Structure 1
Amino acid sequence: MSTLRGVGIGQGVATGPVVRMGEALPAPEKQTSTIGADAERIRARDAVADVASELQERADAAGGAAQDVLEAQAMIAEDPSLQDEIDARLDEGSTAEWAVHDAFAGFRTTLEAVGGYLGERAADLDDIAQRVLARLQGVSAPGVPDPGHPFVLVARGLAPADTALLNLDQVLALITSDGGPTSHTAILARAKGIVAIVGVVDAASLADGQTVIVDAAAGSVNDAPTAAEVQGVAERLAAREAEDAAPPEPGALADGTAVNLLANLGKPGDAADAVARGAEGVGLFRTEFLFLSSAQAPTIEQQRAAYIELLAAFEGKKVVVRLLDAGADKPLAFLNDAHEENPALGLRGLRALRASEDILREQLTALAEADAATAADLWVMAPMVTTVEETEYFTTLAKDYGLKTTGVMVEVPASALLADQVLLHADFASIGTNDLTQYTMAADRLLGSVASFQDPWHPAVLRLVREVGEAGARRGKPVGICGEAAADPLLAVVLIGLGATSLSMAPAALADVRRMIATHTLDDAKRIAAAALDTSDADAAREAARSAAQR
């Protein structure tokens, strides 16, 4: 027996036979067309349009975080610049297959050179190109295999289009050799509740048909389990099913300390699933869905209707709404379409809203009107707040519109280090661990080449969280966590030990986090957090916390 290691997503466990992902289609040979450029152009455009349509259909079916990812892929497929590159090669006499292959490869190289959000999207081009080539060749696109029985899927990486629609009755678990805790695969696996381990370096050693145990809680793959170990997995699964069948209790530590467990939502339609899974409210409602699909800002009436739909689903419960967080990976022509060399450090979040204050004021108006029409406990926060002055500006303006509870997102080291002063003006702080990690580690969270730096377990990030937690305790102000870190059950315990009073996550992660925190007291959480802090890197912090939790 040997044990393979990676980063586990959640606390699940599974066992079953390995089925490996199929190999990619081979690159087509460069050949001269025998049917002419116009006919090849029709073939290419029809194939691209079919793939874009398929991706959009998958997006509509998937919903949630997966919908955003797949819609972005559909838009990439039909990018006019990419189409121009294909046409240029067709005009030179090449076949549609070669034109698509070479244009996508060239576009990929260009995006990688740009870096940032576009650099990360370069990886998505491979999946799109494969799908278009398959259409042109009349074959099935490489994707998730269907062996006719439940299996553990092993792949180098998994395209968003495949992850989003995995058949959970067949795919028992997912093992990838690539990716980290904030990769698309990890995010979508967490959102769907898939047992997954990413970044398993030796995953290629696993063979088709080989029985394995995938233990996300331990971040391990047992590649030769005994019969007793397989039986142990069955017992763990039965215990988890029994716990999941019971009505969910409010989040609390073993000593009775309450910790609100909230949901991250991307649109009102996601509310029902969150409520069914025991969400005690909403810790992050992203309002971008109203803006990203429009050529102009939505009206106050359109916004108000969406906010009322959301708030009505959480009567009497806390709902934290984040104002439009545009810029960086979400540019909007009507807000800020100016080219920026490094948009992650540019005009985004509150900065962009302040520069277009009419959009900010319209959003505040719609939220205030929705609040007056419903019985939820509405909290409103501004994204990407960096300074104390920005905090005072936003909270003063929001209260002028009648919004009672106003706070800020802490996503940059500056606001974390000044949290004591920030919380003089804000009613609460919510830590976005994805961006806080990005800016602390100087590693674009959407760029695969620096994914190893994008780990919220890093002690530098944890120390900034502690700064905010301690400031909240001194000021008597709540401090929430709404980044991906809150969905990691062990890290959730650490975050509580650092001063977090609420945790918000993908609804599918609520059960595991609820179970984990219920096994530790507040003193335990502080002790485990101290162990993680007293290390020098993310891996050491994770292992120190795991050892401390076992003690």
Structure 2
Amino acid sequence: MAELRGVGIGLGIAQGPVARMADPLPAPADAPSEITAEEETARAREAVAAVARELETRGSEAGGAAKEVLEAQAMMAEDPSLETEIDSRVANGKTAEWAVFDAFATFRDALTAMGGYLGERAADLDDVAQRVIARLQGVAAPGVPEPGHPFILVAKDLAPADTALLDLSQVLALVTTEGGPTSHTAILAREKSIVAIVGAAGAKDLVEGETVIVDAAAGVVTTDPSDDERERASRRAADREEAASAPITPGALADGTAVPLLANLGSPDGAADAVKLGAEGVGLFRTEFLFLSASQAPTVEQQREAYTKLLAAFPGKKVVVRTLDAGADKPLPFLNDAHEENPALGLRGLRALRASEDILREQLTALAEADAATSADLWVMAPMVSTVEETEYFVALAKEYAIKTAGVMVEVPSSALLADHILARADFASIGTNDLTQYTLAADRLLGSVSSFQDPWHPAVLRLVREVGAAGRSTGKPVGICGEAAADPLLAVVLVGLGATSLSMAPTALADVRATLLKYTFDDAQRVAEAALTATDAASARANAQAIVSH
């Protein structure tokens, strides 16, 4: 028996035989073309266009986040700069196959060098190149195996086009040797509730057909498990299914302390499913979907339509909307596309919005109009707030547009340490644990190479959460959690013990968290939190908390 570690996506557990993804196509030969440059150019353009249309079709079939991902891939395929690079290689006598391979590789290397969000997109570009080359060669593109029985899929990384249309009656779990928690593989696995572990480098040695247990909650792949281990895994899987099918009730602790369980959403399209899964409202609505694929800012009318659709899905419920969080590693030509040496510490979030205040004012206008047209309880918050002055600026501006409840995201240590002053001025705070962990431990959350540092269980992060929770109690202001930490059931108990008054997460995690909270009183939650705080590292904090709840 051996344990292979990676980054778990979701909280599920599965077991079964391994089926490995086929190896990528070999690089085409760098041989001179035997036809004219015009003919090679036509071949390349036909193949690129065909692959782009195929990706769009797959996206339409899959829907949801997969649709956005695959449409983005199609746009990558037809990027004018890439077309120019391919044409220049063909003009030098290269075949269409080699020209596509070399041009895409150049772009991939450039993305990889950028790191962060753009670095994670390099794998998507590789997939497009493989599909185009396969079409040019008249062979099938590498894809998901079909062994004829349910299996654990093991791959270097999984292309969005394959992840989007996985047959979940056959794929029991997914394990990749590369990729981080924000790769498209991870994003789509989370949305589709696929048991998954990414970045498990040791999985490269897994053998076709061998039985493994994939424990996403622990981030561990167990090889050659014993009968007892397999039985325990089966019981855990059954317990999760039972919890998921239990009647949906409002989030609460065993003593009746209310802990509203809210959904993180990236577009209005996910609202109906969130309600079905028991979301009591929205704790984080990301507005970036309106902006990231646009060459210019969406109009007030376009924004109002989207916000109205969202708010209408939650009549009488709290809906927390985050204003545009872009810039730096997600540059927008109409906001801030200037190169920055260290984008994680650059002009992003509220800083970027203040530099282009007209965009912020238009967003607040659209939100206020959508609020007036619906009955939801709209709360609006600013991202990446790091000072008291920024808090005063945003709250004053929001009130100018008749936003009744205006708050801030706590994502950097400075705002956590000044939480008492910030909450004296804001109506609420919402802790983004992903970024708070990143900035506390100085480890880019988008880089797989430092993913081991990206653990919200770290006592330094928990102490900052405690600061905000204490400030919330002293000022009588709500403190929510809207980072991935809230989706970890045991950590959810800790966060409530530290002062969180609501938890927001991917809708698929709601059932697990709801069931876990019902096992503990508020006094229990405080004891578990204190145990975690006494640790000196993330693993010890988790172990300390587990020890308390196990007795």
Contact 1:327 1:344 in 2 (8 A): no
**How far apart are the structure 2 equivalents of 1:542 and 1:99?**
51
SS, match of residue 38 in structure 1: helix
- Give the match for residue 465 of structure 1: 465
Q: CA deviation at 1:531?
A: 3.3
Amino acid in structure 1 at the alignment position of 2:176: T
Task: Render the CA deviation track for 1:202-257: whole Å, top value 9, x for unaligned.
Answer: 32343222233323334433433455654554444444333323321111222322
**How far apart are the structure 2 equivalents of 1:295 and 1:177?**
35
Contact 1:267 1:287 in 2 (8 A): yes
**Is the alpha carbon distance of 1:82 and 1:529 closer, same or farther for their aligned partners in structure 2, counting shifts above 3 Å?**
farther
Range moving further from structure 2, 379-388 or 206-215: 206-215
SS, match of residue 425 in structure 1: coil
Contact 1:117 1:328 in 2 (8 A): no
Matched ranges for 1:331-480 at <5 A:
331-480=331-480
CA RMSD of aligned residues (A): 2.3
Is 1:276 paired with 2:265?
Answer: no
SS, match of residue 378 in structure 2: strand
Q: CA deviation at 1:95?
A: 1.1
**How far apart are the structure 2 equivalents of 1:506 and 1:273?**
11
SS, match of residue 202 in structure 1: helix
- Give the match for residue 501 of structure 1: 501
Q: CA deviation at 1:387?
A: 1.2
Q: CA deviation at 1:331?
A: 2.3
Is 1:69 paired with 2:37?
Answer: no
Q: CA deviation at 1:273?
A: 0.2
**Is the alpha carbon distance of 1:452 and 1:391 closer, same or farther for their aligned partners in structure 2, counting shifts above 3 Å?**
same
**Is the alpha carbon distance of 1:28 and 1:7 closer, same or farther for their aligned partners in structure 2, counting shifts above 3 Å?**
same
Q: CA deviation at 1:147?
A: 2.0
Range moving further from structure 2, 180-189 or 417-426: 180-189
Contact 2:120 2:179 in 1 (8 A): no
Is 1:485 paired with 2:485?
Answer: yes
Range moving further from structure 2, 187-196 or 90-99: 187-196
Q: CA deviation at 1:363?
A: 1.7
Range moving further from structure 2, 234-243 or 473-482: 234-243
Is 1:319 paired with 2:334?
Answer: no
**How far apart are the structure 2 equivalents of 1:158 and 1:548?**
38
Amino acid in structure 1 at the alignment position of 2:516: M
Q: CA deviation at 1:321?
A: 0.8
Matched ranges for 1:294-313 at <5 A:
294-313=294-313
SS, match of residue 424 in structure 2: helix
Q: CA deviation at 1:180?
A: 4.4
- Give the match for residue 15 of structure 2: 15
Is 1:107 paired with 2:107?
Answer: yes
Amino acid in structure 1 at the alignment position of 2:175: I
**How far apart are the structure 1 equivalents of 2:70 and 2:540?**
35
Task: Render the CA deviation track for 1:275-320: whole Å, top value 9, x for unaligned.
Answer: 0000000001112222233333222222222222111111111000
SS, match of residue 82 in structure 1: helix
**Is the alpha carbon distance of 1:182 and 1:105 closer, same or farther for their aligned partners in structure 2, counting shifts above 3 Å?**
closer
Is 1:198 paired with 2:180?
Answer: no
**Is the alpha carbon distance of 1:526 and 1:74 closer, same or farther for their aligned partners in structure 2, counting shifts above 3 Å?**
farther
- Give the match for residue 78 of structure 1: 78
SS, match of residue 85 in structure 1: helix
- Give the match for residue 533 of structure 1: 533
- State the TM-score, normalized to the length of structure 1: 0.93
- Give the match for residue 163 of structure 1: 163
Contact 2:123 2:157 in 1 (8 A): no
Amino acid in structure 1 at the alignment position of 2:286: R
Task: Render the CA deviation track for 1:380-414: whole Å, top value 9, x for unaligned.
Answer: 11112121111111111111221111101112222
Which ranges of structure 1 fall in alignment gaps of 5 or more residues?
A: none
Contact 1:178 1:201 in 2 (8 A): yes
SS, match of residue 174 in structure 2: strand
Contact 1:64 1:265 in 2 (8 A): no
Amino acid in structure 2 at the alignment position of 1:70: L
Amino acid in structure 1 at the alignment position of 2:389: E
Amino acid in structure 2 at the alignment position of 1:338: A
Q: CA deviation at 1:164?
A: 2.8
**Is the alpha carbon distance of 1:50 and 1:341 closer, same or farther for their aligned partners in structure 2, counting shifts above 3 Å?**
farther
**Is the alpha carbon distance of 1:282 and 1:542 closer, same or farther for their aligned partners in structure 2, counting shifts above 3 Å?**
same
Matched ranges for 1:32-181 at <5 A:
32-181=32-181
Aligned length: 551
Contact 1:493 1:525 in 2 (8 A): yes
- State the TM-score, normalized to the length of structure 2: 0.93
- Give the match for residue 329 of structure 2: 329
Matched ranges for 1:205-224 at <5 A:
205-224=205-224
SS, match of residue 380 in structure 1: strand
**How far apart are the structure 2 equivalents of 1:434 and 1:217?**
17
**Is the alpha carbon distance of 1:332 and 1:544 closer, same or farther for their aligned partners in structure 2, counting shifts above 3 Å?**
same
Task: Render the CA deviation track for 1:121-167: whole Å, top value 9, x for unaligned.
Answer: 23332222222221221222222212232111122322333223322
What fraction of aligned residue pairs are identical, expressed as a percent? 74
Moved beyond 6 Å, runs of 4+: none
SS, match of residue 152 in structure 1: strand
**How far apart are the structure 1 equivalents of 2:78 and 2:448?**
23
- Give the match for residue 248 of structure 1: 248
SS, match of residue 284 in structure 2: strand
**How far apart are the structure 1 equivalents of 2:220 and 2:302?**
47
Q: CA deviation at 1:350?
A: 1.6
Contact 2:328 2:337 in 1 (8 A): no
Q: CA deviation at 1:10?
A: 3.0
Range moving further from structure 2, 221-230 or 8-17: 221-230
**How far apart are the structure 1 equivalents of 2:425 and 2:182?**
32
**How far apart are the structure 2 equivalents of 1:19 and 1:6?**
18
Q: CA deviation at 1:322?
A: 0.9
**How far apart are the structure 2 equivalents of 1:345 and 1:216?**
31
Amino acid in structure 1 at the alignment position of 2:441: M
Contact 2:243 2:512 in 1 (8 A): no
Contact 1:282 1:318 in 2 (8 A): yes
Contact 1:288 1:325 in 2 (8 A): yes
- Give the match for residue 510 of structure 1: 510
Contact 1:9 1:488 in 2 (8 A): no
SS, match of residue 121 in structure 2: helix
